[in-house]
A and B are shown apart, each in its own frame.
Chain A
């Protein structure tokens, strides 16, 4: 994959210590996992929950539990804004600020002593999902009979503005390496590779501690977008292509923040109740990385870090400038939110006529032809042969278009038309 060099804007939040905001008055825990709202609710109004108690379990094949991030009384259920643009049902808990934790079974002293089945059970019960933004249940990746040859730890973070992965590596590098070593031993993996972009000084931090771990290596990848995509990363590091899932070829890819969450689950039996979110952008007074509890309304957090520079022309974007969407201030923190941006709202002129220059086809990492998909949205047969379902929605086609057409929107529309046409 060739990729495109896009401006990084990482300096706004780089090399700053992670702030902590863990005193929300009320939290709204969203009862949703991977856009699936089919959750069995296990609490009711006026129940008292401890921090880390299970509030609901997902139905279906991935039975991931959802935990409370504070201790307190359940006030009821409300619909709040979620990151996919819709409102979802949330459990409203009033924080009593006691941080009470229920008793847990004992943890083993050395985290390498767990067996594979215990390991999978622990990370399943801890509700660990991919913290890179996709929120895929992590235990599913390890729950396989196939031999895992390689574990690739994704510390690339190719989207602009986001530095949450870098921040956690800077502060908790030893713990992360210990966790990787444990995963490798428990699952009998041959090697572990940490993928970092060239030109990043994180490598110095890692190199300080990596000597004691013979099976862990660092691999530098080119500084282009979207290098953090699973398929592109595996192709770059191991030169292997796969069809549907990387486990076919014995490879597992995990985000580095997920690895730290696994560490906390193995070491302290702590479920996924908080995460680091990058608050960045030109319109924030003090952009930085913040450790927040899941369910916190973002209004409070923004006020606690100083608020906006100006009060008009702001676009609040959740999830990165290339693949995210604009949200309102009523959003709540969920486990798939890795970044919140306050960008200057630029005046959008209407797009010009398509020049048919072919640049969108050159840059597409999934080898699609976006301009042809745009032209054949109504013709089902042509649309089928163009395979818009391969699109990973990276946004490069709209980025590079000289006529400023939103090509990515047309490809997403193409996906929907294809689904409608199949019925």
Chain B
């Protein structure tokens, strides 16, 4: 029997499929996972810092993320939406079910307890995706939503467990990630890059950070592969990273820092991973080409604002979530601009003004008129029976610290701070830092700085060292 159907064309279709797109992203993530298995699992095991569980822990972490997010979605589909058989299979294979869990496990600090990871996947899937109407209808990136809620609820728990550092790095550096120092001062090559090696380490990824975020090289290769296979919206990461590069180049240039500074900025803080995998999530990013370019521009502006003008160290997550809210406006502008480009002029002009203006403003706000050496000055000295009392001043973070140090018999007995306007100063006095310094004055170089007030603590340490040198100098003269 001949069958004739009635319908409209087209009767030939391309090979594109949703499952192919998902597969491409998974293929590209595998080298990243393997690299971090090497860095966080094999290397500590090789140096006998951890046991067999610690060897495989990165892989277990990722696996638990994937399994738990698939499980929550399956549960929701089966129980609440009452999908069965074919429809269930369709949904499970084609609606990005394990991606929130996969990304979440790659951006969380490695020492997150496993139950918090499962809870985060629950929030990401149920709150971030299913309650909005399922795949294709959500506004916010689900992985970032879970990340936000976990970090704002349990950050103290995670950092007390070890935070971003694996067992190999735990006694390496005082602060957790390179970027947490940037709010205090503009930094220099010595403070920002030197502690972790040189810029090549940032490129390859042997610096402390979350599982997926550290390696710029692997993310770059991933970007090239995904753009050639036309899997992701390549305009977004390209414009995003270039904007951050340009703005930080202005900032660095106004403070006399070289080309290493913008390179450092784009290679740290998980910017590459966030820009390539989280910002280009197809459901929550704009569909029109002009909308995508504007999205990238404003993401870059927001990230630089958050990194420099707010106390949060890494701005990628907050900027992506904020711009997710405004995607509908960008799509509107983008659709109208296909016929008439003038519609977009206002937004582009606004973006460029912000880029230039903010770059100049932030760059200039770091300029200091004092010289960088000659930080230490002895103001007064009084001697009284083998007890020397020095009143000294040392350059701190944003002002000078003036204090009175009493030295008796070659050892410091008292430190009293007379004047100090540094912003994190209360941390020094609260933590008994000064008493620690007095107790450990012989080995003062090895005393850890107070976290969050690194420069000020280093300044106090320098002050003590310089005072001891003065004392030694004075004593030798006698």
Q: Provide the bound-state CA to CA distance between A352 and B89, in Å.
A: 12
* Segment 261-301 of A: residues with Cβ below 8 Å from B: none
Known contacts A367-B338, A386-B335, A402-B17: does B1 contact A311 (CB below 8 Å)?
A: yes
Chain A residue contacts of B9, Cβ below 8 A: 317, 320-325, 395, 398, 408
Asked if B375 CB lies within 8 Å of chain A CBs, one says: no
A interface secondary structure, majority? loop
Task: Please give the distance in Å from A331's CB to the nearest CB on chain B.
Answer: 10
Chain B residue contacts of A313, Cβ below 8 A: 3
Residue of A nearest to B284 (CB): A356
Residue of A nearest to B287 (CB): A358
Task: Please give the distance in Å from A319's CB to the nearest CB on chain B.
Answer: 8
Chain B residue contacts of A326, Cβ below 8 A: 4-8
Asked if B135 CB lies within 8 Å of chain A CBs, one says: yes
Total A residues in contact with B, Cβ cutoff 8 Å? 55
Task: Please give the distance in Å from A404's CB to the nearest CB on chain B.
Answer: 7
Asked if A329 CB lies within 8 Å of chain B CBs, one says: yes
Asked if A142 CB lies within 8 Å of chain B CBs, one says: no
Chain B residue contacts of A399, Cβ below 8 A: 10, 12-14
Task: Please give the distance in Å from B15's CB to the nearest CB on chain A.
Answer: 9
Asked if B114 CB lies within 8 Å of chain A CBs, one says: no
Chain A residue contacts of B13, Cβ below 8 A: 398-399, 404
Known contacts A323-B9, A355-B283, A369-B288: does B90 contact A400 (CB below 8 Å)?
A: no
Task: Please give the distance in Å from A146's CB to the nearest CB on chain B.
Answer: 26
Chain A residue contacts of B289, Cβ below 8 A: 358, 361-362
Residue of B nearest to A350 (CB): B90
Q: Provide the bound-state CA to CA distance between A143 and B105, in Å.
A: 70
Among the listed B1, B11, B20, B331, which residue makes an inter-chain contact with A321, where contact means beta carbons less than 8 Å apart?
Answer: B11
Asked if A371 CB lies within 8 Å of chain B CBs, one says: yes
Contact with B along A364-407 (1 / 0, CB 8 A): 00011101100000000000011100000001001111111010
Contact with A along B39-59 (1 / 0, CB 8 A): 000000000000000000000
Residue of B nearest to A6 (CB): B12
Asked if A78 CB lies within 8 Å of chain B CBs, one says: no
Known contacts A355-B18, A355-B282, A402-B18: does B3 contact A369 (CB below 8 Å)?
A: no
Chain A residue contacts of B311, Cβ below 8 A: none
* Segment 1-53 of A: residues with Cβ below 8 Å from B: 6-7
Pairwise interchain contact A398-B10, C-beta atoms closer than 8 A: yes
Q: Provide the bound-state CA to CA distance between A313 and B336, in Å.
A: 43
Pairwise interchain contact B14-A314, C-beta atoms closer than 8 A: no
Residue of A nearest to B292 (CB): A358
Residue of B nearest to A314 (CB): B2
Residue of B nearest to A320 (CB): B9
Q: Provide the bound-state CA to CA distance between A330 and B274, in Å.
A: 59
Chain B residue contacts of A322, Cβ below 8 A: 9-12
* Segment 41-100 of B: residues with Cβ below 8 Å from A: 90, 94-95
Asked if B134 CB lies within 8 Å of chain A CBs, one says: yes
Q: Provide the bound-state CA to CA distance between A85 and B4, in Å.
A: 13
Task: Please give the distance in Å from A363's CB to the nearest CB on chain B.
Answer: 10
Pairwise interchain contact B136-A353, C-beta atoms closer than 8 A: yes
* Segment 424-476 of B: residues with Cβ below 8 Å from A: none
Asked if A100 CB lies within 8 Å of chain B CBs, one says: no
Among the listed A312, A361, A369, A408, which residue makes an inter-chain contact with B1, where contact means beta carbons less than 8 Å apart?
Answer: A312
Known contacts A314-B3, A357-B282, A369-B335: does B21 contact A402 (CB below 8 Å)?
A: yes
Pairwise interchain contact A354-B136, C-beta atoms closer than 8 A: yes
Asked if B342 CB lies within 8 Å of chain A CBs, one says: no
Among the listed A328, A369, A404, which residue makes an inter-chain contact with B287, where contact means beta carbons less than 8 Å apart?
Answer: A369
Chain A residue contacts of B1, Cβ below 8 A: 311-312
Chain B interface residue number, banded? 35 or more
Task: Please give the distance in Å from A320's CB to the nearest CB on chain B.
Answer: 8
Chain A residue contacts of B287, Cβ below 8 A: 356-358, 361, 369, 371-372
Task: Please give the distance in Å from A398's CB to the nearest CB on chain B.
Answer: 5
Task: Please give the distance in Å from A357's CB to the nearest CB on chain B.
Answer: 5
Pairwise interchain contact B10-A372, C-beta atoms closer than 8 A: no
Chain A residue contacts of B90, Cβ below 8 A: 352
Asked if A249 CB lies within 8 Å of chain B CBs, one says: no
Asked if B339 CB lies within 8 Å of chain A CBs, one says: yes
Chain A residue contacts of B334, Cβ below 8 A: 369
Asked if A345 CB lies within 8 Å of chain B CBs, one says: yes
Pairwise interchain contact B339-A321, C-beta atoms closer than 8 A: no
Task: Please give the distance in Å from A49's CB to the nearest CB on chain B.
Answer: 32
Known contacts A312-B1, A369-B335: does B282 contact A325 (CB below 8 Å)?
A: no
Task: Please give the distance in Å from B83's CB to the nearest CB on chain A.
Answer: 13
Chain B residue contacts of A362, Cβ below 8 A: 289
Q: Provide the bound-state CA to CA distance between A58 and B243, in Å.
A: 62
Among the listed B10, B12, B21, B292, which residue makes an inter-chain contact with A355, where contact means beta carbons less than 8 Å apart?
Answer: B21
Chain B residue contacts of A80, Cβ below 8 A: none
Among the listed B14, B18, B233, which residue makes an inter-chain contact with A358, where contact means beta carbons less than 8 Å apart?
Answer: B233
Asked if A149 CB lies within 8 Å of chain B CBs, one says: no
Asked if B16 CB lies within 8 Å of chain A CBs, one says: yes
Task: Please give the distance in Å from A327's CB to the nearest CB on chain B.
Answer: 8
Chain B residue contacts of A328, Cβ below 8 A: 4, 6
Task: Please give the distance in Å from B91's CB to the nearest CB on chain A.
Answer: 9
Pairwise interchain contact B20-A402, C-beta atoms closer than 8 A: yes
Chain B residue contacts of A361, Cβ below 8 A: 287-289, 338
Among the listed B5, B14, B94, B282, which residue makes an inter-chain contact with A400, where contact means beta carbons less than 8 Å apart?
Answer: B14
Residue of A nearest to B134 (CB): A353
Among the listed B4, B14, B336, which residue makes an inter-chain contact with A329, where contact means beta carbons less than 8 Å apart?
Answer: B4
Pairwise interchain contact A395-B288, C-beta atoms closer than 8 A: no
Task: Please give the distance in Å from A421's CB to the nearest CB on chain B.
Answer: 18
Pairwise interchain contact A312-B3, C-beta atoms closer than 8 A: yes
Asked if A108 CB lies within 8 Å of chain B CBs, one says: no
Chain B residue contacts of A321, Cβ below 8 A: 9-12
Q: Provide the bound-state CA to CA distance between A278 and B221, in Å.
A: 48
Q: Provide the bound-state CA to CA distance between A324 and B134, in Å.
A: 34
Pairwise interchain contact A324-B339, C-beta atoms closer than 8 A: no
A selection of 5 A-B contacts at a CB cut-off of 8 Å is A327-B4, A361-B287, A369-B334, A395-B10, A398-B10
Instruction: Give the top 9 A-B pairs by smallest Cβ distance, nearest first.
Output: A395-B10, A358-B287, A353-B136, A402-B16, A369-B335, A367-B338, A321-B11, A322-B10, A357-B282
* A-B contact sample (18 more), CB < 8 A, given A325-B9, A345-B5, A362-B289: A6-B14, A308-B2, A311-B2, A317-B11, A321-B9, A352-B90, A353-B136, A355-B18, A355-B282, A358-B282, A359-B16, A361-B338, A368-B338, A372-B287, A401-B16, A402-B18, A402-B21, A408-B8
* A interface residues, Cβ below 8 angstroms from B: 6-7, 85, 160, 308, 311-317, 320-329, 341, 343, 345, 352-359, 361-362, 367-369, 371-372, 385-387, 395, 398-404, 406, 408-409, 412
